[in-house]
Structure 1
Amino acid sequence: MERNLMKGNEALAEAAIRAGCKCFFGYPITPQTELAAYMAKRMHKAGGVFLQAESEIAAINMVLGAASTGVRAMTSSSSPGISLKSEGVSYIAGSDLPAVIINVERGGPGLGGIQPSQADYWQATKALGHGDFQLLVYAPASVQEMVDYVVKAFDRADKYRMPAMILADGLLGQMMEPVTFPEINPDAYDKSGWAANGHKMQREHHIINSLYLKPDELENSILDRYKRYEIIKETETEAELYLTEDCDVLVCAFGATARVAKSAVNDARAQGIKAGLFRPKTLWPFPVKEINEAAKSAKKLLSVEMSMGQMIEDIKLAINCSKPVEFFGRTGGVIPTPAEVLGEIKRMGGAL
């Protein structure tokens, strides 16, 4: 397979095109603007549509319209822009439509800054829009994984008829690494049973709708959706377990921060401290089985994040609060260093 040296944002865009994305609607915001710029250059050559909308709100509603016809549609933004898209994401979920949303996170709250952050974890996994719904959330840790998870996000969005998100950050979006692009079948799922793409007087109308005036009907639609969510929680979790077989201190980190944490774990091992790494690749659903496997021998867990500790609750719930969980993080766009994480591991290891 040919390898290409690409910036993360551009690799995301190229992977989406190769995955069969036919419609991209977005609005520029740092640090994901290169993704939209790449789409502007490539989409029409690939037989697709690129449109810079007048706002983030317009962009996500264009995704809703395109997805309702059965085509693969995508939008991308960074943290404040994702907040503006939240109402439209809820409409997409309520309409049972597949779509892919990219969030290349920056520091917040408010306008914050343009440096990397992971402080949108709660937004992505708990509250990206109003109502009872979830979306698939993937957390890549390399440019290659961003490619792979864009492909998977489109695939699983189609399979389960729900929105999927790639939760990256400014560090991953701006770094350059070699990538390969997998073979893809964008037509793996038959959409003829629901897509509103013209009936030609040969079938009944397909109605795409998230409005239910009768509460019983709305409740039934939500309950049906949550049956799918239970299947997803059983079958779609992914995580990396690194040096966890005999670890005393289990470091938990996702995305770019996991790269820092892995270096710290290796340094700890070199100094005789039994540290291991648990890296969730799916943030929703959270890898419950995998973290319990990783934590079997651990006496303490350490969550390392580029936030004020938004993943801690999920870790505690996943292990049923059976072991102490501590936190180390930097926020506001500051990236933790391997030395800082190693210092926390040594402090925790020395107390065992």
Structure 2
Amino acid sequence: METWVLGPLVISQYLLVLFLSAAAGYGVLRLRLRGSGIGRPMGESVQTALLLWVLVWKLSILLWEPQSILDDPVSLLYFNGGEKGVWLASIVSGLYILYAAERRQLDRILYSDSLLLALLGGYAAYAALILLLDPREFGSRLPSVIVVLAAAALWLRYRPGGTLQSPLRRAALLVTAFALVSTVTGHLADRTTGTDAVLAEVGVGLKTGQLAPDFELGTLGGESVKLSSYRGRTVIVNFWATWCPPCRTEMPHMQAYHAAQPEGGPLILAVNATSTEVSEPVVSSWSETWKLTFPVPLDKEGKVTELFGIHSYPTTYVIDKDGIIRYKQAGPMTFEMLEDAAAKAE
């Protein structure tokens, strides 16, 4: 997903969707437990679990990339555990919720029913938000979203039975219905994609799926690079500046990623916002400090930065072998994030 830039703030669409989905799930939980005796203690447990999730997700990068954090502790401000951190945080939070239920001796049937319904409500919100952000998926995703929303509404209407079989049976029926609808709509969507999808991508622009604007700049090494000359190869265009703290945190990851690529693999073009720098020798000094081995084009007049609509640094575009933008992000990226982003261009 893309990011929104509001002044100095960089907001990830994905993180915003997760936050809103969690809020929706919590709201459904409160509705389910309204008037019950476990509403308050369970609500407190879930709130603590959410805070624990954020903490584990943020700090889990210490497990995946400890050396980079030790080398630059400030990078904790900019990075998180990524997808692996999401899974770890979810497992830890889930275990905490089970522990809290046992410790407070809550009604297991109502507790389980409410949690399953909250997860369903949160996923319904997530699926609907994803659909709104990417209208191209309406044909394949809309029926599944309708099934989930309808299931959440019906589940909320009925109270749990006297055993755990009731909520578990509902969950099993929902999973079966969801899988069936997803399979059918997926096959139908495959039949309608192809030429139409390719035509939708035609046109130069800055959105995912559009042809990236071409540019030509001189580099620190005195050479000239032109974006279109790299057709047939994935290109990661990174916009940065030496005065930007997140850029200085990110650049070692860029170099490590570049060094790990085979010949002909994804190429990094680190476009420096030279028009905003004190001097060109400052850029050269930082590049030597990081031992950069990929091209560093110099945007001395700021025209390329303006062409790509850069409002914050660093900002990265991933462009596939046909020159199509497949991913873009405002904010620093780790080695793992670069790998995931480049995979979107394959």
Scaled by the length of structure 2, what TM-score is found?
Answer: 0.29
Scaled by the length of structure 1, what TM-score is found?
Answer: 0.29
The structure with the greater share of residues assigned to helix is: 2
The structure with the greater share of residues assigned to strand is: 1
